[in-house]
Structure 1
Amino acid sequence: MAIPDFQSIMRPLLEHLADGKVHGNRETNDFLAQHFLLSEDELAEMLPSGFARVFDNRIGWAKTHLKGAGLIESPSRAKYCITQRGLDSLANNLGPINIAHLQQFDEYNHFKSGSRAEKSVSGLTTDSSETDELTPSEHIEYGYQKIRQEIEEELISKIKSASPAFFERLVVELLVSMGYGGSLKDAGQTLGKSGDGGIDGVIKEDRLGLDVIYLQAKRWEGTVGRPEIQKFAGALQGQRAKKGIFLTTSNFSVEAIQYASFIDTRIVLIDGKQLAGLMIDTGVGVTKVATYEVKRLDSDYFEE
């Protein structure tokens, strides 16, 4: 069964609390997981950031809306119980309990007017919360991932249209930003000068140069196959090297990936998507536009 949206969770959540007892988060989450017949994989599914589970996040937002409408209350941290209004909602409404149902309560409309993020355009206010299946956290997470994906595609397009010399400089700056090669000057003196036997360059593994990593960088449109990786591995053996990085603006075939994973020589394969992702993470070729900080209530602060 698919993970339910946060509005679909509201009624089962109220029914779980209908015994009038105070229930903890873990107990409630376990009950709802069984109610919706969720698999272990579904329960383990994370938001894109990896900071929270999707199902737990949606339960949390269901509680937030129900509490805003006065159907449940939280007597202590991570503890919830139903109110008389919640019991009445279950008794008088046999259909789903969702945002449309909660809007009959003045407290909920006040709660929403202070928390919703609406934008008025040409005098028109848009709010899709009644039919929305994603929580605000998920909107932020997936919105960020969408923006990141678009930037990755733009980066790859720019790299493919750049000169080989520019690509070499980009690889140097990226690896140095990741902690390899010491300084840009030291790294730049090695990359692009070897070109011997399938090796495009050599870069220090650390600032002291205790070990080196051999590089191969390909600005390709087509898939990089196993023969290219075999050639690079052979070149590494010729240098008695144990470590190599093969970068490409395209992708690798399944055979190429399997071959790199089976041989003794450690070869890291970085395809176009990974290359663009590393550039974003290290700030190479991109600039920061805005930063948003999401916070939550610190319940410990209010403990007396």
Structure 2
Amino acid sequence: MIYTLTLNPSVDYIMELDSFQKGGLNRSSAESAFPGGKGINVSRVLHLLNVDSVALGFAGGYTGEYIKQFLNQEDIRTEFVEVEEASRINVKVKADDETEINGSGPSIREEHIRELFDQISSLTADDMIVLAGSIPGSVPKTFYQEIAAQCQKQGTKVIIDAEKKLIEPVLPLKPFLIKPNHHELGEMFDVEIHSIEKAVHYGKILKDTGVENVMVSMAEKGALLLTEDEVFFSSVPKGELKSSVGAGDSTVAGFLAGLSRGWSVKDSFRLGTSAGSATAYSIGLCSSEHVERLFEDIQITNI
């Protein structure tokens, strides 16, 4: 089973306006609300690709109930740890430009952390867990490292998609996959990366730390996957960029979906690239039909 972890999920409340007047009365022309968070995005795209997952994390209050109900209605299994305070609301105002106001989220107590850690301690060598996104201020910054250490004992595969300071302590614990974009990869080595050659060079250095697979997204230039003994390059299919939000999460979900189907690493990478591109070319997350359509246009080569 694939498990996804979102430590600070949200209700993303999106308001669309013809124009925005600061300090005045504004009326929206359209509104929508979705559960937000990188791990939740992975679970939702996995479901779109007909792969089951379990969404883990912390949820509380009426907003936490909304998140759980929304995912359950999409037939996504949830096992969130219940906390006392309400899960956060992130407001996104789309007018002439886009403004975001993100909530800070609930306080997480020690007993909540222990309960979640106990859930993760029950996973087996047949399971994978995706550690995605930031860690709330009330949770120890070493939490991903502690999870990865426990998973290493159990044989549970760890996938991590987070910022540099959260990824680096996990590297010695030999995660199954990390997925930085080229900017994040450059930050890890204090360099700027704009070329495929440079991304391959630093991706190999990163892989030599013990990571099994390194996936590097490079926007319109394509993507790379470095495995034990091969380096794959994926082209990007043609399309109009509408939003990069959730594209990286969709790439991870597509890759894991391919592996869950028993596909080769190469074809799974192709599915990951098509899912990420389909989300980038959409408002919201991708559809399975869009993913299938783009899949045919993607070329994977060995370099």
The bucket for the TM-score relative to the shorter chain is under 0.3
Ranked by relative contact order (alpha carbons within 8 Å, sequence separation 6 or more), the top structure is 2
Q: Which protein has the larger Cα radius of gyration, Structure 1 or Structure 2?
A: 1
TM-score (norm 2): 0.21
Q: Choose between structure 1 and 2: higher helix proportion.
A: 1
TM-score (norm 1): 0.21
Q: Choose between structure 1 and 2: higher strand proportion.
A: 2
